Amino acid sequence: MDLSRFKRVSDYEWRVEPFGKMRVPAIIYASEALMREMDEKVFEQVTNVATLPGIVKAAYAMPDAHWGYGFPIGGVAAFDPEQGGVVSAGGVGFDISCGVRTLTTGLTVADVEPVKKQLADLLFARIPAGVGSTGSLHLSMEEMDAMLKGGAQWAVKRGYGTEADLERIEERGSMKGAEPGEVSAQAKKRQKDEVGTLGSGNHYLEVQKVAEIYQPTIAAAYGLKEGDVVVSIHCGSRGLGHQIGTEFLRSMALAAKEYGIDLPDRELACAPINSDIGRRYLGAMRAAINCALANRQVITHLAREAFAELFPGARLELLYDVSHNTCKEEVHEVEGRPRRLFVHRKGATRAFGPGRPDLPAVFRDVGQPVLIGGSMGTASYVLAGREESEAHAWGSACHGAGRSMSRVQATKRWSGRQIIDALAARGIEIRSPSLRGVAEEAPEAYKDVSAVVEAADRAGLAHKVAKLVPLVCIKG
């Protein structure tokens, strides 16, 4: 990235003043090294987002930002419906509500190491993974609509978890305003047999060791200490979310013309929030959020069953569940007064600080857990939202490392077998239905997650709390 186009505000904040049709500045939070590695397309995309109607304060990019469809992945922007603000399917992305949840196990590395291979085999046998994978649930259309309306609450009512789980999921496990009637028959058909499956790409279930603690007080509040074993699940709304994204991008590209919205890039397809298509998209997108929450809840149940076979006394308790790729209606203070905004976080995590009434009581004094996913051979992190993060980017932080190489480039450089063997030599058990998928997701195809997390911490987006390293990875 050419840094001469930015004003350096601090070591971790880079600003572009409005030019051309930009309505607000564009701001990227990253270290100089991450900025230099960032692809040029991020500059183009984040400044394009700054041109959209009704945008408030600035268009933001997180330290893991990279090129995406319309918005950069790692992009954050808020829009005011009373100022002509828009909702954008490209600003949410195709994998709606892709997210991470982490569970504590009460087990230590010493408990798990002797049976690590057995545990990997059990988890792989019980949790469907891979392109087009299907599970044991086959939903009727009536049950599909109930799932899309209820999310994780639907799953818990059917025995896939407990009420205590719901307290530790954003939106208490169910996104209000979901409208299953706005989800097409084709999208529902794609999801009919896919509840409780990991899918493919960068989705995974990992058994991880807590390797390092940085904020002991917050870590204690989260129930984390060094040497503990935790489980993290990363997946989303599967084919249903992708279908909704595809259909509404097409419709919104036409709608933008009707509403006189001048799009600098067709991929920024959007519509006014206060429009028929805007409301219909929000209803469908919220249903997809519920689909993802239900999916992660059912996978949690399957993981608990697998652990119970080897560790009958273990209790896998949910630490927290966070979503990326959403547009959420939130109240934020702007120039001293509260305003109702629609915050897009594409490849970004909500990171509310202490005191937010939206948080469960257990986190209200320390801030929301922010779960940063790794990539098989690299670390993952637990962060915590902080008060100042709301002033920076509507209470948002990064979501992962961010790709540094395309999937095609990765498969040309590595084979899946080579990666599995190399990771096994480091004590990491990989199970996957696809060697090609493993090659596409090679750890080296991603940015340095530790550098990304350090930048998020130094920029004031979130506190670094704990480092997790993989022991077992079930790769989609």
Active-site residue (options: 242, 344, 399, 463): 399
Task: Establish how many alpha carbons lie within 13 A of residue 124's alpha carbon, considering only the half-sphere containing its beta carbon.
Answer: 17
Q: Which residues contact 140 (CB under 8 A, 6 or more apart)?
A: none
Neighbours of 82 (CB within 10 A): 11
Q: Which amino acid, one-letter code, is at 297?
A: Q
Could you please report the per-residue DSSP string of 17-80? ---TT-SS-EEE---HHHHHHS-HHHHHHHHHHTTSTTB-S-EEEEEEEE--SSSPEEEEEEE-
Closest listed residue to residue 201, CA positions, set 433, 466, 453, 35:
433
C-alpha–C-alpha distance, residues 468 and 382, integer Å: 8
Q: Which residues pair with 363 in a beta bridge?
A: none
Task: Please report which residue ranges of 129-206 form alpha helices under DSSP H.
Answer: 141-150, 152-157, 163-166, 185-191
Closest listed residue to residue 219, CA positions, set 355, 315, 319:
319
Residue tagged 């067709």 (tokens): 266
- Record the tokens describing residue 287, joined without a space: 């249903």
Neighbours of 18 (CB within 10 A): 14
Asked if 466 contacts 228 with a C-beta cutoff of 8 angstroms, the reply is no
User: What single-letter DSSP state applies at residue 130?
Assistant: S
C-alpha–C-alpha distance, residues 219 and 366, integer Å: 9
Residue tagged 């596409």 (tokens): 440
Asked if 151 contacts 303 with a C-beta cutoff of 8 angstroms, the reply is no
- To the query of whether residue 66 is one of the catalytic residues in this protein, the response is no
C-alpha–C-alpha distance, residues 454 and 446, integer Å: 16
Neighbours of 359 (CB within 10 A): 21
Closest listed residue to residue 324, CA positions, set 75, 116, 19, 30:
75
Burial of 146 (0-12, 13-18, 19+ CB in 10 A): middle
The shares of helix, strand and coil residues in the chain, as percent rounded to the nearest 5, are 40, 25, 35
Residue tagged 């096994």 (tokens): 424
User: What single-letter DSSP state applies at residue 445?
Assistant: G
The residues assigned a catalytic role are 399
